[in-house]
């Protein structure tokens, strides 16, 4: 058995992939909704922001950094 995770940006392609998976008798494990709110960011975007500020070694107080993230959105 194999597991495939893909990100599909357009709804027509999503429907096509979904119908193809059903045609193959594939088991659909999870369908995740896209991140639609502006205030929800991916982990990758946070890691990128950390890198832009000099990396993890520049975070001297993790609690303060977390408060800053929550209030300022970096």
What is the 8-class DSSP label of residue 54?
T
pTM of the predicted protein model: 0.40
CB 59 within 8 A of CB 65: yes
pLDDT digits (tens, 9 = 90+) for 9-47: 888 898 899 899 889 988 888 887 665 555 556 777 777
Residue 69 confidence (pLDDT): 76
Contacts of 49 (CB under 8 A, 6+ apart): 74
CB 8 within 8 A of CB 17: yes
Cβ neighbours, 10 Å, residue 50? 16
| CA–CA separation, 42 and 46 (whole Å) | 7
When pLDDT is averaged across residues 57-66 and rounded to a whole number, the result is: 82
CB 18 within 8 A of CB 32: no
């Amino acid at each position: 058995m194999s597991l495939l995770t893909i990100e599909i940006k357009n709804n027509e392609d999503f429907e096509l992939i979904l119908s193809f998976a059903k045609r193959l008798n594939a088991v659909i494990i999870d369908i995740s909704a896209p991140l639609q709110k502006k205030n929800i960011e991916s982990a990758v975007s946070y890691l990128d922001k950390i890198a832009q500020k000099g990396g993890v070694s520049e975070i001297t107080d993790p609690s303060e950094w977390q408060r800053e993230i929550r209030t300022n959105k970096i």
